[in-house]
Amino acid sequence: MADVPNDAPEHCPGTSSDQAGKSSACQGCPNQNICASGAAKAPDPAIEEIRQKLTSVKHKILVLSGKGGVGKSTFSAHLSHALASDDSKEIALLDVDICGPSIPKIMGLEGEQVHQSGSGWSPVYVEDNLAVMSIGFLLSSPDDAVIWRGPKKNGMIKQFLRDVDWGEVDYLIVDTPPGTSDEHLSIVQYLSGAGIDGAVIITTPQEVSLQDVRKEIRFCKKVKIPVIGVIENMSGFVCPKCKNTSQIFPPTTGGAQRMCEELNLPLLGRVPLDPRIGRSCDEGRSFLTEVPDSPAAVAYQNIVQICHRRKVSVH
C-alpha cells in the first residue's frame, strides 16, 4: 500500500487502516505508538511537495494495462514521440515500472545516467523537447534485477515525482507496470494534489486480456481517475508487403469494441501488429518517423487526433 512506511514490517496494515498500530504485525514496530494514536493518518507531506513541484506540468496522463505484454510501454513511448513532434510542446515520459523498466531501451537511452543539479535530478533527453526518467538510468547494468518490497518502490516513485526537475512541461506521460498494485496506488496518492487528467488503457483483442483490463477500468473508477479511452493493440497483422490483414489474436468475445460498448467507454483506436515496431523499439528509434505511412503509424496519429477532439488535452 502507498501508506506503508519505508521501515514497516512485512504485513503492515498501513497507516490509514483501522488496524494501524493494533494488529499482530505491529508488535515491535518503531511506528506502533504513532500509528495507534492516529497521528500517522495525517496526509503525507510529500503530496503537497509534489503538487508544488508539478505546478509547471500542465497535463498528466497515465498509461495503464491490466496484463503485461500488451504493448503498454511501446505505446507510451510512441505517444510521447507523437506529442513531441510538435516542436512547440514540451513532453516528459516517466517510467514507474520499477521492476521491469523497458523505456530506456525503447527510447534509445540505454547506458545514460541521471545527473544531480541544484534543483533536483535532471531527466535524460531524447530530443530537445522530450525528457525521460526511469529507474533504468540508476542501474549499473540493464540486466540488474530490482528486488524491492512495496515500500521501497513507493519511495522511489515519490522521489521521481518530487525530485525530478522537469521544467515547464505540457504533457507528462506516466508508463505504469501491469496490474493494480503498489505502484498504481502510489501514483494516485502522490498525484492527488497535483491532479491526473486521465488514463489511457491498453489491451489486446483476446478475452484473456480484456478480463484484466476490466479490472483496470474498475480500479480507475474506484480511485476516481477519468478514463480517456481504450486502445486495442496488436489488432490484426498487416503484411508490410502484400497489405493483407490477418487476425493473430482473434477477438473471440468482440474485442475492445464490444467491451467499450458494454462499459460506455470510447475506443480510441486499433493499432495493428507490425514487425517493424518491434525492430524500432529494439534499436531505440521512433517507429513513427521510421515508417510514417504504415497502418500502425497512421493509427497512432489518429488516436492522438481523436483524443484532441474529445478535448482531453492530449494534443
Check whether 281 is labelled as a binding-site residue: no
Check whether 108 is labelled as a binding-site residue: no
Check whether 278 is labelled as a binding-site residue: no
The answer to whether 314 and 304 are in contact (CB under 8 A) is yes
DSSP state for residue 164 in the 8-state scheme: B
Check whether 208 is labelled as a binding-site residue: no
Check whether 167 is labelled as a binding-site residue: no
The answer to whether 34 and 40 are in contact (CB under 8 A) is yes
The answer to whether 163 and 121 are in contact (CB under 8 A) is yes
The answer to whether 9 and 29 are in contact (CB under 8 A) is yes
Check whether 26 is labelled as a binding-site residue: yes
| Cα–chain center distance at 41 | 27
Question: Burial, 213: exposed, middle or buried (Cβ in 10 Å; 0-12, 13-18, 19+)?
Answer: buried
State the Cα–Cα distance between residues 20 and 191, nearest whole angstrom. Answer: 24
The answer to whether 287 and 296 are in contact (CB under 8 A) is yes
Check whether 99 is labelled as a binding-site residue: no
Check whether 260 is labelled as a binding-site residue: no
Check whether 69 is labelled as a binding-site residue: yes
Which of 82, 56, 81 is closest to 170 using CA atoms?
A: 56
Alpha helices in the chain (DSSP H): 32-37, 45-53, 72-84, 103-106, 150-163, 182-190, 207-222, 255-263, 275-282, 287-290, 295-309
Check whether 239 is labelled as a binding-site residue: yes
Backbone phi and psi for residue 79, each to the nearest 5 degrees, phi listed first: -65, -40
State the Cα–Cα distance between residues 177 and 62, nearest whole angstrom. Answer: 11
Annotated binding site: 12, 26, 29, 35, 66-73, 239, 242
Annotated binding site for ATP: 66-73
Annotated binding site for [4Fe-4S] cluster: 12, 26, 29, 35, 239, 242
